[in-house]
Amino acid sequence: MWPFRMRADPEPEKTEIGAGEDALLRSILAADCMTRDQAMNVPAFAACVNKIAETISTIPIRLYKLVDGKLEEVKDDERPRCLNDDTGDTLDGVQFKRALTRDYLTGKGGYAFINRTGTRIKSLHYVKESEISFMFTSDPIFKDYDIMVQGTRYKPFEFLKVLRNTEDGRSGKSVVDENSEVLSVAYHSLKYEKGLVKTGGNKKGFIKSPKKLAQAAIDALKEAWRNLYQNNTENVVILNEGLEFQEASNTSVEMQLNENKKTNSDEICKLFNMPPAMINGGATEQDKINFVQYCLNPILKELECALNRDLLLELEKGSYYFAADTSELTKGDIEKRFRAYETASKNGFMQIDEIRLKENLPPLGLDFVRLGLQDVLYDPETKQFYMPNMNQTGGLGMPVQKEGEIDED
């Protein structure tokens, strides 16, 4: 008997975990678990999510093809149009990418149904992550699963899936799930501040009486004090018979409320690798560079990998690929980059077309290396060099001849 389980063996029975059951399980396991809606009520969290989603939604996605080692942008294809302009659904390309990114950050992932006609992609249809559930096996190796949407069963290849910190390939872990405690502190601080505002900022304290009060007097005093705190139209309580109000000292929470708000905001920014100045104002050029490099680029790379996996045909993989065009975001750093290219080109370790390849630009056919002396150009394919100032060509181990001369040999 063959001791190993082969992939062709009968698949284990798949069980279903619905979106509602998943949320219920999380709430049972963690009574203080934050929800997506609660987290989005925290200003710093909402600002980070919206900043990232809005920025990514405006970044064009390009489709490229490698032809004989040279990069070419594919423009006569439906897929970039679906991603950037018209998805073929009710959402346009900007709204589509924004929705996917928000679900990627705050839910179990960004999902979209791929509407195919044969091998051609006709349209992309965003599906809320809360509408997604799964049928999957308990096999820890192959991790087979199907996607369920309102009782209809779909295969994984029928969906675009952009997942954050996934371990099974079907669903990811949101920033909310991974950082529930930090967000809970910020959320409940906000709730506490809201309570202070609702009471008009009235002080807490005690009522001192020189003698014991009758129950009727105590009940009347309680009612008057309740009206003072619950109804902003009531702003006076009359104290008779020697009654005196003694203010309670502020708690440490009240005294540190503003300081805690600043600390909580900075901690939430760290969850996204977001420079605080990007949401608070006053961002420097370096803050913008860090935002793109450390906050956006990991998400864009995840998106590119998902697009390459789910939108490319098997025969296209390896020669076609999707890439996010971040040139507009890096304009501020373009001068530094071009100076580096200039140095590389002048010193002979990068060719013109190699530089253009890094900038996702089509080649010019200038596959030569500068050898110094200001004007000596070398073609590594033909192994010939050209000296424009002398109008002469030659090769390694070959005699030099002037342009237009005929080699008699």
Q: pLDDT tens digit string along 5-61?
A: 444 455 556 666 555 555 544 544 444 678 999 999 999 999 999 999 999 999 999
Is residue 290's pLDDT more than 60? yes
6 secondary structure, DSSP code: -
pLDDT band at 4 (very low <50, low <70, confident <90, very high): very low
Environment class of 164 (CB within 10 Å of its CB; exposed 0-12, middle 13-18, buried 19+): buried
Mean pLDDT of 136-158: 94
Mean pLDDT of 305-332: 91
pLDDT band at 234 (very low <50, low <70, confident <90, very high): low
pLDDT confidence of residue 248: 55
Answer with the residue of higher pLDDT: 354 or 142: 142
Q: Which of 81-85, 133-137, 205-209 has the lowest mean pLDDT?
A: 205-209
pLDDT band at 368 (very low <50, low <70, confident <90, very high): low
Pairing of strands 70-73, 61-67: antiparallel
Which among 52, 7, 26, 103 is positioned nearest to 273, based on CA atoms? Answer: 52
The phi-psi region of residue 363 (left if phi > 0; otherwise alpha if psi is between -120 and 50; otherwise beta) is beta
Which among 65, 181, 150, 57 is positioned nearest to 110, based on CA atoms? Answer: 57
pLDDT confidence of residue 362: 73
Which residue type, as a one-letter code, is found at position 132?
I
The string of pLDDT tens digits covering residues 118-134 is 999 999 999 999 999 99
116, 101 contact by CB (below 8 A): no
Answer with the residue of higher pLDDT: 340 or 244: 340
Torsion of CA 228, 234, 236, 238, to 10 degrees: -80
Answer with the residue of higher pLDDT: 100 or 407: 100
What are the domain boundaries of the chain? 9-182+251-329, 183-250
Mean per-residue pLDDT of the chain: 80
pLDDT confidence of residue 14: 61
Predicted structure pTM score: 0.71
Whose structure tokens read 């002080």?
Answer: 203
395, 383 contact by CB (below 8 A): yes
Q: At what angle do helices 43-57 and 257-271 cross, to 10 degrees?
A: 30
Percent of the chain whose predicted confidence (pLDDT) is above 70: 68
Is residue 202's pLDDT more than 90? no
pLDDT confidence of residue 24: 47
Q: Which of 68-82, 252-266, 324-338, 387-401 has the lowest mean pLDDT?
A: 387-401
The two counts, helices (H) then strands (E), for the chain are: 15, 17
pLDDT confidence of residue 387: 63
- Tell me the C-alpha distance between 89 and 98, whole Å: 15
pLDDT confidence of residue 291: 96
Q: Which of 261-270, 336-345, 371-380 has the lowest mean pLDDT?
A: 371-380
Q: At what angle do helices 257-271 and 180-198 cross, to 10 degrees?
A: 150
User: Collapsing DSSP states into helix, strand and coil, what is residue 258?
Assistant: helix
Mean pLDDT of 78-93: 96
